[in-house]
Amino acid sequence: MNDAVLLRRYAQERSEEAFAELVRRHADLVYSAAVRQVGGDSHAAEDVTQAVFTELSKHAGKLTRHPALTGWLYTTTRRMASHSVRNDQRRLRREQEAQAMQELLNDSTPQPDWNRIGPVLDEVMHELSEKDRLAVLLRYFERRDLRAVGSTLGLSDDAARMRVERALEKLRALLRKRGLTSTTSALAALLAGQAVSAAPAGLAATAATAVLSTAVASASTLGLLEFMASTKIKLGLATLVAAGIATPFVLQHRARTQLRAENTGLRAQLAAFQTAPLGNQATNSSDPDEVSRLRGEHAELMRLRGEVAQLRRQSQEWTARFNRQSSNDLQTAAAELQASEAKSIMEKTNIFLPIPTQSELSVATPEGALQTVLWAIQAGDGELYQKSTYPEQGSNDWGKKEVERKYELLRGLKGVRVTRKSGGQDNLELRFAYEWETAPPLKNSPEYGFIGLRLIGDEWKVSSWGDTIGLPPEW
């Protein structure tokens, strides 16, 4: 039974026996090639072998028509081994960086120049551009690795490393103008070890408690205003609703307070009259003016009681009205949120985008923006590439270097086939497969890519870009 028959049985019937036979036939070939390509590491070769047959399981249906499974397995072993070696190199580099950073942190001996650099550091930091300052803060003040810096800045690992190196060099130049000379590596070590020190014990808890205690009094009002702002309710409506609801409650509170005081006084007078000795009551009752006054006060007491009852009813009505209004606002906000979510898209496509001519360049659509940066790479136009990105980098050298780097990987590109489109009205992601005129120029040229785009004004610009090898475009 040949390989094609076994593959077909596995793809159609999920036959474990058929797949096990395929693995048995080709395991020696795959493992031997993997051992050579990972430098003789048997454990890494076993992992590569496992990955190759995992790929075979995923693509069994497509490979039933492949002319020679051996060739596909051999090529896939090469790709998986390269991927494994790159991962090991990245891991080793991260471990070395972490070890160097740990040695810096564990070194309690103050750097000799810190006493001179420390007093002017913050002033010099604010002479950097915002982008460069943030790169230095993330890398050396918060001690993040390059992947975390790139994630925060919307850059790849390599681009983040270049941004940090340029920013550190600018900081070193500004310090040199003040007579403080240092090498770049010494300055990096100094910042990592001395720029941020531990705050006094208990300061964070004290500050948090103070802020939270101040905020408690207005928490409910702020919550309502934040909710209304988050659901895009107009500020004028919020002001009118708040004023319309709050004013009657304030007036009612003042009126009820005044009536309560008067009611208490009249109750005290009536109680005193009722508990007075009979002689005094007789004396008072014999005075027509006093009797008339008491009757009038009694009538006033009854009237005030009626007004208090009326105010209670009005208060209940206003509370019910407020609750209904809040419920309506919530329903309106929910409807707006659902409408906003309905505008987002995520759809599978199969659109081929060729490398355009210069006259066909356009950034009016996401697809046009992708074609524009691909044309800039093929044409070596670093300036156009840089203008097509967001946020734009500060130096023209960046666009030139990126174009040169990507051209080596994408030389001879025919176009890309977009397989998935997702996002909202002003923020999209396209996933695609690279297609070549003949064959990829390098062994590590990417097979698939994804690109993030943002609508800035009426132009779409690239905000992120990533490539991968060995993953399908629907990952």
With bands split at pLDDT 50, 70 and 90, how would you rate the model's confidence at 416? very high
pLDDT of residue 271: 60
Could you tell me how far CA 124 lies from the centroid of its own chain?
30
Q: Which of 339, 364, 389 is the last residue of a domain?
A: 339
Q: Judge contact between 171 and 120, C-beta under 8 A.
A: no
The answer to whether position 448 is within a domain reads: yes
Q: Do both 362 and 441 map to the same domain? A: yes
Q: Do both 296 and 380 map to the same domain? A: no
Q: Do both 166 and 100 map to the same domain? A: no
pLDDT of residue 268: 64
With bands split at pLDDT 50, 70 and 90, how would you rate the model's confidence at 221? very low
Q: Do both 451 and 349 map to the same domain? A: yes
Q: Which residue has the higher pLDDT, 173 or 257?
A: 173
pLDDT of residue 422: 87
Whole-angstrom distance, CA of residue 176 vs CA of residue 352: 53
Whole-angstrom distance, CA of residue 353 vs CA of residue 367: 8
Q: Do both 20 and 86 map to the same domain? A: yes
pLDDT of residue 359: 87
Mean pLDDT lowest among 16-30, 203-217, 352-366: 203-217
**Average pLDDT value over all residues in the chain:** 77
The answer to whether position 211 is within a domain reads: no
Q: Which residue has the higher pLDDT, 391 or 347?
A: 347
Q: How many domains does the chain have?
A: 4
pLDDT of residue 102: 67
pLDDT of residue 129: 92
pLDDT at 232 over 60: no
Q: Do both 64 and 128 map to the same domain? A: no
pLDDT at 11 over 80: yes
Whole-angstrom distance, CA of residue 134 vs CA of residue 167: 9
Whole-angstrom distance, CA of residue 129 vs CA of residue 394: 9
Q: Do both 87 and 151 map to the same domain? A: no
The answer to whether position 183 is within a domain reads: yes
Kindly report the backbone phi and psi dihedral angles of residue 125, in degrees, each rounded to the nearest multiple of 5, phi listed first.
-55, -35
pLDDT at 253 over 60: no
Mean pLDDT lowest among 180-184, 216-220, 291-295, 428-432: 216-220
Mean pLDDT lowest among 124-133, 192-201, 284-293, 428-437: 284-293
Q: Judge contact between 445 and 408, C-beta under 8 A.
A: no
Burial 282-293 (b: 16+ CB within 10 A, else e): eeeeeeeeeeee
pLDDT of residue 110: 42
pLDDT of residue 282: 44
Q: Judge contact between 433 and 419, C-beta under 8 A.
A: yes
Q: What is the CATH number of the domain that holds 48?
A: 1.10.1740.10
The answer to whether position 397 is within a domain reads: yes
Q: Write the DSSP assignment of 343-406 as a string of letters.
A: T-EEEEEEEEEEPPPGGG---SSHHHHHHHHHHHHHHT-HHHHHHTBSSPPS-HHHHHHHHHHH
Q: Do both 153 and 244 map to the same domain? A: no
User: What digits encode the pLDDT tens for the residues 281-323?
Assistant: 444 444 666 667 777 777 777 777 777 777 777 777 777 776 7
Q: Which residue has the higher pLDDT, 4 or 225?
A: 4
User: What digits encode the pLDDT tens for the residues 39-96?
Assistant: 888 888 899 999 999 999 888 888 878 778 888 998 999 999 998 899 888 888 888 8
Whole-angstrom distance, CA of residue 358 vs CA of residue 355: 9
User: What digits encode the pLDDT tens for the residues 135-179?
Assistant: 999 998 888 899 989 998 999 988 999 999 999 999 999 999 988
For the chain, percent of residues with pLDDT exceeding 70: 70
From the list 378, 377, 396, the residue with the least C-alpha distance to 387 is 396
pLDDT at 7 over 60: yes
Q: Which token pair is 258? A: 């005044």
pLDDT of residue 283: 44
Q: Which residue has the higher pLDDT, 99 or 83?
A: 83
Q: Do both 295 and 256 map to the same domain? A: yes
Whole-angstrom distance, CA of residue 134 vs CA of residue 152: 10
The answer to whether position 218 is within a domain reads: no
The answer to whether position 210 is within a domain reads: no
From the list 83, 58, 86, the residue with the least C-alpha distance to 72 is 58
User: What digits encode the pLDDT tens for the residues 442-457?
Assistant: 888 888 888 999 998 8
With bands split at pLDDT 50, 70 and 90, how would you rate the model's confidence at 220? very low
Q: Do both 101 and 113 map to the same domain? A: no
Q: What is the CATH number of the domain that holds 113?
A: 1.10.10.10
Q: Which of 105, 137, 163 is the last residue of a domain?
A: 105
Q: Which of 156, 176, 194 is the last residue of a domain?
A: 194
Q: Do both 360 and 453 map to the same domain? A: yes
Mean pLDDT lowest among 31-35, 114-118, 126-130: 114-118
Q: What is the CATH number of the domain that holds 428?
A: 3.10.450.50
* SS3 label, residue 217: coil
Q: Do both 129 and 64 map to the same domain? A: no
pLDDT of residue 373: 92
The answer to whether position 213 is within a domain reads: no
Q: Judge contact between 159 and 401, C-beta under 8 A.
A: no
Select, from the ranges 238-247, 383-392, 425-434, the one with the highest average predicted confidence (pLDDT).
425-434
Structural domain boundaries enclosing 252? 240-339
pLDDT at 183 over 70: yes
pLDDT of residue 239: 46
Q: Which residue has the higher pLDDT, 443 or 394?
A: 443
The answer to whether position 209 is within a domain reads: no
Q: Looking at residues 387-416, what average pLDDT do you find? A: 83
pLDDT at 372 over 90: yes
